[in-house]
A and B are shown apart, each in its own frame.
Chain A
């Protein structure tokens, strides 16, 4: 209402019009990007938005959980921020279903999002055929990080196929290094679970268990073979792993105690902070023998509806979905642009490798968070961590536990 009145009044003088336009494009943005590189990356968005004539009102919360709690109560209480950070995926489907979010389909169509985004990611921001979220970055979850000097000292080389993987680990172990640095927390074990699937090339298993909730894949010999290898990997992890944080495990690779770690691309920052260079001191690997699968997770922004701030929200969408802005933003944050049509020549070797892998549609894999409900991912995680930590559990027990997890979280 006030906006419309102001707009009518603004017709009288040019100066007043300019002032109200700026005022109308003031956007309150709620996010949890508070750590060093994240906060620095956010400045790119703020700068671009203000350069486009908007006014950014920052509303930072400490972490994902408090953001969800604060944002949902603000939305339900009728006082939503203009934009709100989320993880891509099913988490915001609840809000979309209840009509709390602005339908971004017109903007998506005008901006050509469907062609520009990886199909899995476009699917993850759509709900019921409409687009509800803007993906701003893209994080690969399935990287393998290797310390070059340890690999050289052990005389080990990364094989071209999974068959050579355990012999390589044996070689590293015999040379007196910890082959795999692992942090024994539930989420890291889930991470390891689907990373091994990716490295083994078990696409059908991943699709069945995580994406489709199709329990028939659990009865296949492929699942048994996978479960046995997953168990076997336990022998190459040191006994101090349980409870270890992911960055402590990364430090073990950096310091040369361990040879490698399976972890998302956020581990890269630890290597570069320690003064190591990608492709020189450490290697980043997405797959064996050129099978570079890319498991996608992404940060998105949703635009809550009900406010009278549509112009500001539209300007925000245009800014955040601009390929050049996304490239600049991710150069600082350490991720990749969500759009596939950005210029990434300014990014480092690992990022370029990831961006190249992302261009191949059959190797774009929707990460668990963006394809299954938080509830289902959690239930799968419980089954995985139980199997990993219970040596007496057989692959059949594991299959049964996963079957329960999927059945119990069926919608």
Chain B
């Protein structure tokens, strides 16, 4: 708490006064809307918010709703695979560039390029490519390999992996850029020491260089983690949550109930559960990084 208190603008002075607008925005826009959402989740609101207490009714229904449980499960599977694959792939790409491969400038641009596309564009393109009657499967079949199948996006058991594939394709470049910046910042002397000691290059990366880059990796994981919680546009563009509920995610669930199904109370309940879950996930990390040292 000491850090937080130190940042509060209680001290008089120009800087503190200048910060007031920011504080007002934080308090009203962020905290205010959070409190409002939690309050609405305790009401029976449908299309219009009505301030009438309904207890935990929305939460009871939420945890009995098969679709919600499926969407949370999907988010966890998607998140784990997406973060792991993006980190590994992005790190490998960064290391490849760090080893001064030929035509580095061109390769780096190509690898980073997908990140400049929005999730909507990524989703639409991959949906076309993976659609069995339009994309890769159809072209390969037409070339003579009749039994070739690549229909992940329409297969309820594999559609989620199709979304992971597209998401990794899009985001691995970001991890690469971050990691490459980190690798380029490594002191040459460290490499000299590794060479002098006769440590193999791969061992040098795994045991020495990457541990030094821990802060960069934490940043990358946090950025990817935020993308997971917000994952909505990619799913909407690629599968719209389907087939069935195979790729439904909590953000899409909440948006559906908020706008299409005119159930503001229920959607707020789901949003509150997401808020609590995210807070519970990052609280230990915040504690470890910012608060424990004091």
Instruction: Please give the residue numbers on chain A whose beta carbons come within 8 Å of chain B beta carbons, in ascending order.
Output: 65, 68-69, 72, 76, 91, 94-95, 98, 184-186, 238-243, 373-375, 377-378, 382, 385-386, 388-390, 401, 404, 408
Bits for B139-159, please: 1 = Cβ < 8 Å to A, else 0: 000000000000101101001
Knowing A240-B133, A374-B263, say if A98 contacts B50 (CB, 8 Å): yes
Contacts of A404 in B (CB 8 A): 64, 66
Check: B65 CB closer than 8 A to any chain A CB.
yes
Q: Tell me the bound Cα distance from A184 to B266 in angstroms.
A: 26
Check: B238 CB closer than 8 A to any chain A CB.
yes
Instruction: Please give the residue numbers on chain B whose beta carbons come within 8 Å of chain A beta carbons, in ascending order.
Output: 46-48, 50, 61, 64-67, 127, 131-134, 151, 153-154, 156, 159, 238-246, 256-257, 259-263, 266
Contacts of A69 in B (CB 8 A): 259
Instruction: Decide: B127 and A243 in contact? CB cutoff 8 A.
Output: yes
Instruction: Decide: A68 and B47 in contact? CB cutoff 8 A.
Output: yes
Closest-CB distance, A387 to chain B (whole angstroms): 8
Q: Tell me the bound Cα distance from A331 to B215 in angstroms.
A: 65
Knowing A68-B262, A184-B154, A239-B133, say if A94 contacts B46 (CB, 8 Å): yes
Instruction: Decide: B151 and A239 in contact? CB cutoff 8 A.
Output: yes
Instruction: Decide: A65 and B50 in contact? CB cutoff 8 A.
Output: no
Instruction: Decide: A375 and B154 in contact? CB cutoff 8 A.
Output: no
Contacts of B239 in A (CB 8 A): 242-243
Knowing A94-B48, A98-B48, say if A389 contacts B262 (CB, 8 Å): no
Contacts of B65 in A (CB 8 A): 408
Instruction: Decide: B242 and A242 in contact? CB cutoff 8 A.
Output: yes
Knowing A72-B48, A91-B47, A378-B257, say if A186 contacts B241 (CB, 8 Å): yes
Question: In the complex, which of the residues A95, A382, A401 has the most CB atoms of chain B within 10 Å of its own CB atom?
Answer: A382
Instruction: Decide: B47 and A389 in contact? CB cutoff 8 A.
Output: no
Contacts of B153 in A (CB 8 A): 242-243
Chain A: which residue is nearest B70 at the CB level?
Answer: A386
Closest-CB distance, A185 to chain B (whole angstroms): 6
Chain A: which residue is nearest B244 at the CB level?
Answer: A389
Question: In the complex, which of the residues A240, A242, A382 has the most CB atoms of chain B within 10 Å of its own CB atom?
Answer: A242
- SS class of chain A's interface: helix, strand, loop or mixed? helix
Closest-CB distance, B25 to chain A (whole angstroms): 20
Instruction: Decide: A94 and B262 in contact? CB cutoff 8 A.
Output: yes
Q: What would 13 A/B residue contacts be, using CB atoms closer than 8 Å?
A: A69-B259, A91-B262, A94-B46, A242-B153, A242-B159, A243-B154, A374-B263, A382-B67, A385-B243, A386-B245, A390-B244, A404-B64, A404-B66
| 9 new A-B contacts at CB < 8 Å, known A239-B133, A386-B67 | A69-B259, A94-B48, A185-B240, A186-B240, A186-B242, A239-B132, A240-B131, A390-B244, A401-B66
Q: When the two chains form the complex, which single residue of B64, B66, B242, B257 contacts A389, counting CB atoms closer than 8 Å?
A: B242
Q: Which 9 residue pairs of A and B lie closest in terms of their CB atoms, listed nearest first?
A: A240-B133, A389-B244, A242-B243, A242-B154, A94-B47, A378-B261, A389-B243, A65-B259, A374-B262
Contacts of B131 in A (CB 8 A): 240, 243
Contacts of A390 in B (CB 8 A): 156, 244
Chain B: which residue is nearest A240 at the CB level?
Answer: B133
Knowing A65-B260, A243-B127, say if A238 contacts B133 (CB, 8 Å): yes
Chain B: which residue is nearest A408 at the CB level?
Answer: B61
Q: Tell me the bound Cα distance from A239 to B131 in angstroms.
A: 9
Closest-CB distance, B101 to chain A (whole angstroms): 38
Q: Tell me the bound Cα distance from A186 to B257 in angstroms.
A: 14
Chain A: which residue is nearest B154 at the CB level?
Answer: A242
Closest-CB distance, B257 to chain A (whole angstroms): 7
Instruction: Decide: B266 and A243 in contact? CB cutoff 8 A.
Output: no
Chain A: which residue is nearest B46 at the CB level?
Answer: A94
Contacts of B134 in A (CB 8 A): 240
Contacts of A382 in B (CB 8 A): 66-67, 245
Instruction: Decide: B67 and A243 in contact? CB cutoff 8 A.
Output: no
Contacts of B266 in A (CB 8 A): 375
